[in-house]
Chains A and B, each alone.
Chain A
Amino acid sequence: MPILLGVVPFGMIYGVLAMGAGLTVGAAMAMSSIVFAGSAQFVGVQLIHSGAPGMVIVFTTFIVNLRHILYSASIAPYLARLSPRWKWLLAYLLTDEAYAVTITRYNQESASPVKSTNRHWYLLGAGLAMWSTWQVSTAAGIFLGAQVPSSWSLDFTLALTFIALVVPALRDRPSVAASLSAGIIAVLAAGLPYKLGLMIAAIGGMAIGLWVEARQPLRAHRHERGDDQ
């Protein structure tokens, strides 16, 4: 699965950023296994480094991970018959990447007449593969991060990673509006205490994106396909 290789650099960048932010090795590793969510970890490390209060960090984590509600909703019908234990385990493993490969697979299966009753094993396998890759690459990044001097400006990889993720996704007006307005609000609100600017900018950007979306009645139904993330 090439997607696993794609995750390695992110895990390593996270490890480097975590060391740069002054986390202990134990805390940096623990975040990868307890939180297990790439972008939320990147943001969390940045906020910890800037001394933001815990409540702000937890709430920002909530905002950053909100998109997982979509994954959870779209995968729920396939897991509806499982026992609660299975659901609890699989929910923990439901990352962006595991969701992407699993839902692709399930969609192919439901197009074919063969019905599989063991579908949950596929998500378990994808999830565990992701989990192990993430832990190992985080550890490698932590090791590297301890060696690299700050003059290498490796903290810049945070902004670059997010640019690489956002820019290709700016396909329509609402997302462009959300992106630009969130960015501008973030700059204007940068002086606010407790690093509240990030949260305000994210919510403001979403609101303005929704407003733009609402002004486009002809295209209003395109999101109802469900899993178009």
Chain B
Amino acid sequence: MNVWLLLICMGLVTYAIRLSMIGLIGRVNLPPIIQWALCLVPPAVLSAIIFPELLMPRGTLDLSFGNLRLLAGALAAAVAWRTKNVLLTIGVGMVALWVLQAVIPH
């Protein structure tokens, strides 16, 4: 698919979702099960990206201590859990990866 056509389709899909309930005038009440499902979208989608990035950085499963991205990611997750600070989490994770890359041959 042409990249411009792709961008337009991505934009249309996004816009249609945002307009959906605003366009349907009045108080449309989503059934509870739909609301629960929508609440679970962010953790499901984002985790589906995080896990492969950390566990298989070279395309195959790597659970060893030689997997620097897994180590740095685990540290970042601990920082996120304790501080809930987004920028601190990214900063600590990135510095951890650089330090590990400098110290451990890979």
Interface on A for B, CB 8 Å cutoff? 6, 9, 13, 23-24, 27, 30-31, 34-37, 39-40, 43-44, 46, 48, 53-55, 57-58, 61-73, 75-77, 79-80, 87-88, 90-92, 94, 152-154, 156-170, 174-176, 178-187, 190, 197-198, 201-206, 209-210, 213, 220-221, 223-224, 226, 228-229
Contacts and interface: CB of A to CB of B under 8 A. Distances in A.
A167 B18 contact: no
Given A90-B22, A160-B89, A67 B41 contact: yes
14 contacts: A27-B3, A34-B8, A39-B46, A58-B9, A62-B17, A67-B42, A70-B39, A72-B17, A174-B36, A175-B43, A182-B45, A210-B37, A223-B39, A228-B39
Given A39-B45, A220-B32, 16 more contacts: A24-B3, A35-B10, A37-B14, A48-B3, A65-B14, A158-B53, A165-B42, A167-B77, A167-B89, A168-B80, A168-B84, A184-B51, A202-B45, A203-B44, A205-B48, A223-B35
Contacts of A39: 42, 45-46
Contacts of B81: 167-168
Contacts of A73: 20-21, 28-30
B6 A35 contact: no
B21 to A, nearest CB: 4
A201 B51 CA distance: 11
B14 to A, nearest CB: 5
A54 B40 contact: no
Give the contact-size bracket for chain B: 35 or more
A206 B94 contact: no
Given A209-B43, A229-B39, A40 B10 contact: yes
Interface in B9-68: 9-11, 13-15, 17-30, 32-33, 35-56, 59, 61
A164 B42 contact: no
Interface of B: 1, 3-11, 13-15, 17-30, 32-33, 35-56, 59, 61, 69, 72-73, 76-77, 80-81, 84-87, 89-90, 93-94, 97-98, 101
B43 A178 contact: yes
A163 B77 contact: yes
Contacts of B52: 186-187, 190, 197
Given A91-B22, A157-B90, A198-B48, A58 B10 contact: yes
Contacts of B84: 168
